[in-house]
Chains A and B, each alone.
Chain A
């Protein structure tokens, strides 16, 4: 008579079993504020704060090239002529970076356009962190320069390498 009762008692801990796949704790995949489909509506200004332009270095321009190819080439194209794939599919064509007006524009102008958007271009403030905006601006300036370089700008070694 005692034994079945004891065996039944052994089953009691099973009552503590629950579904471990759902746990109400801090976890990027459990937190409803970051779970897919629940992006806060005011997230446009992600990590947004004004920063001073960083010193111009090769690393900055290379970072800018990487981010430019992610966020900008779909419309502006890798050349910056404004004939990217999305433009070819019907998006209004942005001006070429080679326009005189834009060649004369300071990096701050490109920083501001990324932050606030311009014309048909939406703001990229939420997608491109301030440091990366400066990097992209630096790369755009390099892109402009690359297509207006004269032979005289090259070093002697580089000139020797020309065909």
Chain B
């Protein structure tokens, strides 16, 4: 009886087996690992903007409070992007001829908003609310990083579900005293109340914060 397979079939079998293994590994990587990498989430990538606004200059250099521009962060789900009018509060008098600020002046003159590009992207099936996080002692820097050191703004955290859950499972260590919420350089010291004390003080329940409906509705 003649052989069923020719000798070259050995090679074909090896290639197919290796190919399947590679496909499995590649598929797992593409499906499970890649979306979780900081590279794919673009953590630390500067996003191009119509005007190269520097938080470093305005926050660390001039000492302007976050809430001067992001006015609704304490009362709304949205922190609030400042309208051009807010920029022009100062720039109607300062740097009035700067080429860099031409789009800002144009925006005010034409009544057309500056179209800033989103830096901290979350999917639309997430109902994130800024005000509750501020009210319960989560500092801006806990998610947004040291914005006062960003000459150009970038995403400091991955904003994956894992990132949110890390804190929702055990919020205590990420809470800070009320007066430190907008302090981008704050860090825990020996005088800081314990995580448990802060949880108590803010009335953060020690349960339920990982319920699906907390973030998804």
Contacts and interface: CB of A to CB of B under 8 A. Distances in A.
Given A39-B113, A85-B62, A86-B62, A20 B81 contact: no
Interface residues of B, number: 36
Interface string A7-43: 0000000000000111101011110001011110101
A120 interface: yes
Given A39-B81, A74-B62, A89-B62, A127 B94 contact: no
Contacts of B203: none
A163 interface: no
B115 interface: yes
Interface in A45-87: 69-71, 73-74, 85-86
Q: Using C-beta atoms within 8 Å of the partner chain, give the interface range for chain A.
A: 20 to 34
Interface of B: 62-65, 67-68, 71, 76-78, 81-83, 85-86, 88-90, 92-94, 111-116, 118, 122-129
Interface secondary structure of A, over-half rule:
loop
Contacts of A92: 93
Contacts of B112: 41
Interface string A86-126: 10011110000000000000000000000000001110001
A44 interface: yes
Contacts of A39: 81-83, 113
B85 A44 contact: yes
B124 A86 contact: no
B111 to A, nearest CB: 5
Given A122-B92, A127-B71, A21 B123 contact: yes
Nearest to B65: A70
Contacts of A27: 124, 127
